[in-house]
Homo-oligomer: A and B are copies of this chain.
Amino acid sequence: MPISPSELLEALHFRYATKGFDPSRKLTPEAWAALKTSLTLTPSSFGLQPWKFIVVDSPQIREKLKAASWGQSQVTDASHLVVFTVRTDLTQQDIDKWISHLSEVQSTPLENLAGYAGMISSFTSNMSVAEKQAWNTRQVYIALGQLMTAAAVMGIDTCPFEGISPSDYDDILGLKNSEYATVVACALGYRSPDDKYSQAKKARFPEDTIISHV
């Protein structure tokens, strides 16, 4: 059952970067399962899904990550914490793995997907490893956007964190020398009644200075 335009607007106005989470309020298992699936279902260029998501349940690891996040309390207080990591390269092996999975899921012979595979190879063939990582990272931000919006329409609060030390996160999460690297994190849960930021007026440049019609 789709939501109405006014319900969408209500959800988007409800959302804000929550500074104070209520540590006693947890997501229900059903709500968390749906948000977890929303990560998996994020669209990505060519369907490549150049990411892994790490959910940090351990209070001890959360404490360590907090120290790598300018001490922001959301890292430990929120119900859930997701670390978004990116595939640091895109090799022929990655492409083959994706095409083979697609072939299996959609019961399509590999030879029928050869054109698609060739398109991906050709699109990426002139990219340096750094450019591939940058491209993959942009896809990760689609996942971040989808997660925050999905949470908002479910009445769940989030706070994205770019103000972290990705390198320290990689150390803490054992990603050093792996094929993935930390990009950004997002806390999910419910706002504390004391979080004064929930009352702050949303500040956006006027619509007509940001959106034009041609």
Q: Considering the chains assembled together, what is the distance between the CA atoms of A12 and B12 in angstroms? A: 17
For this chain, the copies found in one complex come to: 2
A139-175 interface with B by 8 A CB criterion: 139, 141-146, 148-150, 153-156, 160, 162-163, 173
Q: Considering the chains assembled together, what is the distance between the CA atoms of A2 and B214 in angstroms? A: 35
Q: Considering the chains assembled together, what is the distance between the CA atoms of A53 and B52 in angstroms? A: 29
Confirm or deny: A127 has a beta carbon within 8 angstroms of a beta carbon on chain B. Answer: no
B-binding residues in A (CB < 8 A): 1-13, 15, 17, 28, 30-31, 33-43, 45, 47, 49, 51-58, 61, 101-102, 105-106, 123, 134, 137-139, 141-146, 148-150, 153-156, 160, 162-163, 173, 200-205, 207, 210-214
CB < 8 Å neighbour of A148 from B43, B139, B153: B43
**Which residues of chain B are within 8 angstroms of A6 by Cβ–Cβ distance?**
30, 34
**Which residues of chain B are within 8 angstroms of A146 by Cβ–Cβ distance?**
145-146, 148-149
